[in-house]
């Protein structure tokens, strides 16, 4: 089950709730004051694993470049 982060607009308390995907649209209430809580969204971290992802896909090699194809 995914864990979602919520914040209470009245008391500013932050808490986490585990919900099923089917329960995603149900209202969640603050565990301290009982007010309706707002779901917080945070950026998802991107992790690049493996050697050479950046080097092979995004950089020019020494054989490439503006001089490629010119006679010396």
Residue 46 confidence (pLDDT): 80
Look up the domain containing 10 and give its range: 1-42
Q: Is residue 60 part of a domain?
A: no
Domain CATH number, residue 21: 2.20.28
* Cα–Cα distance measured from residue 39 to residue 15, given in angstroms and rounded to the nearest whole number: 10
Count of domains in the chain? Answer: 1
What's the CA gap between 29 and 37, in Å, rounded?
A: 5
Residue 61 belongs to a domain: no
* pLDDT in 10s for each residue of the chain, 72 residues: 788 899 999 999 999 999 888 887 889 999 899 999 999 998 877 877 766 555 555 555 555 555 555 555
Give the model's pLDDT for residue 50: 67
Task: Please check whether residue 59 lies inside any domain of the structure.
Answer: no
């Amino acid at each position: 089950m995914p864990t979602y982060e919520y914040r209470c607009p009245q008391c500013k308390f932050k808490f986490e709730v585990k919900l099923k995907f089917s329960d995603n649209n149900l209202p969640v209430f603050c565990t301290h004051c009982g007010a309706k809580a707002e779901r917080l969204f945070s950026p998802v971290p991107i992790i690049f694993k493996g050697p050479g992802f950046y080097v092979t896909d995004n950089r020019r090699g020494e054989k490439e470049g503006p001089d490629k194809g010119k006679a010396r």
